[in-house]
């Protein structure tokens, strides 16, 4: 019964481990799918921002002249917030050269303006991108730490739940084993009581002898009234001898039977 319970417990542990592993793999695939989806959304947002900036530059340049270049801060802010300080600073440099290309495309003179306001604007935009990107990096780090802590807490909760189930199942098995053992002991006690009742109901002496050492193991009340007890030997009670019967007149029946 105990070996079967241990086998069931080991089987349950293995099954639970497989379930935990499967749940962990499923969670990793789900998180990977979420990350891929987020990256697609981010890239689409950046692409939309750049296209919008180019369209606004081409449409508004003749109206507000070089002031339209200030809109370059919008793509820088978007990239910096989504991908951090390094990406934000890099996009600020990219926007500087994009502005040159757009001015050249519109046939505008850009050399003198770029040497003065353009470089200063790039430095200012780069600073903004780095600051916003740094804030985004710190924010993402905090979110990552919180997410990792949440993952650890969920895994601990899952393991604790499975451990509680194992303990509960083991407790049930032990209670079942104890119940079966108590029933077996009770049945054995009842059988012994029944046998003692039958033996003691006999009016003549009745006793059971151990053939190995000739001691009396069981004696009924009639035998005990004549001095027999479980601590005595058959040859000391019947022939008053300290050793088994070996004479021709009184041969030992146990020796003859064996």
Per-residue pLDDT tens digits for 143-195: 888 888 888 888 888 888 888 888 888 888 999 999 999 999 998 888 888 88
Q: What was the pLDDT predicted at 208?
A: 75
* Together in a domain, 19 and 104: yes
25 within domain boundaries: yes
| Residues whose CB falls within 8 Å of the CB of residue 219, separated by 6 or more in sequence, listed in order | 205, 206, 207, 208, 228, 229, 230
Give the whole-angstrom CA distance, residue 93 versus residue 100: 11
192 within domain boundaries: no
* Together in a domain, 75 and 168: yes
211: DSSP letter: T
190 within domain boundaries: no
* Together in a domain, 68 and 7: yes
29 within domain boundaries: yes
195 within domain boundaries: no
Return the higher-pLDDT residue of 116 and 256: 256
64 within domain boundaries: yes
Question: What are the Cα distances from residue 171, in Å, to 6, 184, 208?
Answer: 12, 20, 42
Of 174, 195, 218, the one marking the end of a domain is 174
Query: What beta strand segments (E) does the chain contain?
Result: 207-209, 216-219
* Together in a domain, 106 and 17: yes
For the chain, give the percent of residues with pLDDT over 90: 5
| Residues whose CB falls within 8 Å of the CB of residue 222, separated by 6 or more in sequence, listed in order | 200, 202, 203, 204, 205, 206
Domain count, the chain: 2
Confidence category of residue 14, pLDDT binned at 50, 70, 90 = low
Decide if 121 contacts 69 (C-beta within 8 A). yes
* Together in a domain, 123 and 37: yes
Return the higher-pLDDT residue of 179 and 233: 179
Of 126, 159, 174, the one marking the end of a domain is 174
* Together in a domain, 163 and 238: no
Which range marks the domain in which residue 242 is found?
207-257
201 within domain boundaries: no
153 within domain boundaries: yes
* Together in a domain, 60 and 160: yes
Q: What was the pLDDT predicted at 178?
A: 92
Note the pLDDT tens digit of each residue in 83-129.
888 888 888 888 888 888 888 787 776 665 565 556 777 788 888 88
Model-level pTM?
A: 0.46
* Together in a domain, 74 and 143: yes
Return the higher-pLDDT residue of 73 and 1: 73
CA atoms within 13 A on the CB side of 86: 0
* Together in a domain, 141 and 216: no
pLDDT of 1 > 50? The answer is no
Confidence category of residue 48, pLDDT binned at 50, 70, 90 = very high
* Together in a domain, 143 and 234: no
Mean pLDDT (the chain, rounded) = 77
Of 123, 150, 174, the one marking the end of a domain is 174
Give the whole-angstrom CA distance, residue 22 versus residue 17: 8
Decide if 53 contacts 75 (C-beta within 8 A). yes
Q: What was the pLDDT predicted at 2?
A: 45
pLDDT of 64 > 50? The answer is yes
Decide if 38 contacts 177 (C-beta within 8 A). no
* Together in a domain, 165 and 239: no
* Together in a domain, 151 and 240: no
* Nearest residue to 91 (alpha-carbon basis) of 104, 105, 77, 103: 77
Give the whole-angstrom CA distance, residue 218 versus residue 226: 14
């Amino acid at each position: 019964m105990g070996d079967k319970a241990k086998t069931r417990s080991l089987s349950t542990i293995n099954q639970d481990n497989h379930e935990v592993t499967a749940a962990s793999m499923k969670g990793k695939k789900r998180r990977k799918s979420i990350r891929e989806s987020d990256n697609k959304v981010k890239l689409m947002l950046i692409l939309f921002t750049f296209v919008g900036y180019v369209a606004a530059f081409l449409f508004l340049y003749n109206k507000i002249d070089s002031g339209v270049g200030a809109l370059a801060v919008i793509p820088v802010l978007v990239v910096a917030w989504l991908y951090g300080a390094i990406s934000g600073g890099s996009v600020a440099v990219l926007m500087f050269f994009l502005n040159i290309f757009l001015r050249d495309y519109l046939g505008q003179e850009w050399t003198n303006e770029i040497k003065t306001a353009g470089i200063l604007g790039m430095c200012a935009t780069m600073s903004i991108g780095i600051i916003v990107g740094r804030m985004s990096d710190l924010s993402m780090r905090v979110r990552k730490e919180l997410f990792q802590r949440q993952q650890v807490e969920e895994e601990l909760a899952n393991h604790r739940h499975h451990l509680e189930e194992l303990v509960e199942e083991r407790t049930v098995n032990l209670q079942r084993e104890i119940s079966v053992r108590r029933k077996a002991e009770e049945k054995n006690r009842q059988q012994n009581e029944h046998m003692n009742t039958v033996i003691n109901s006999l009016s003549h002496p009745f006793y059971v002898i151990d053939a190995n050492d000739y001691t009396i193991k069981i004696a009924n009340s009639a035998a005990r009234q004549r001095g027999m007890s479980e601590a005595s030997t058959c040859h000391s009670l019947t022939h008053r001898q300290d050793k088994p019967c070996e004479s021709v007149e009184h041969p030992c029946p146990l020796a003859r039977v064996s």
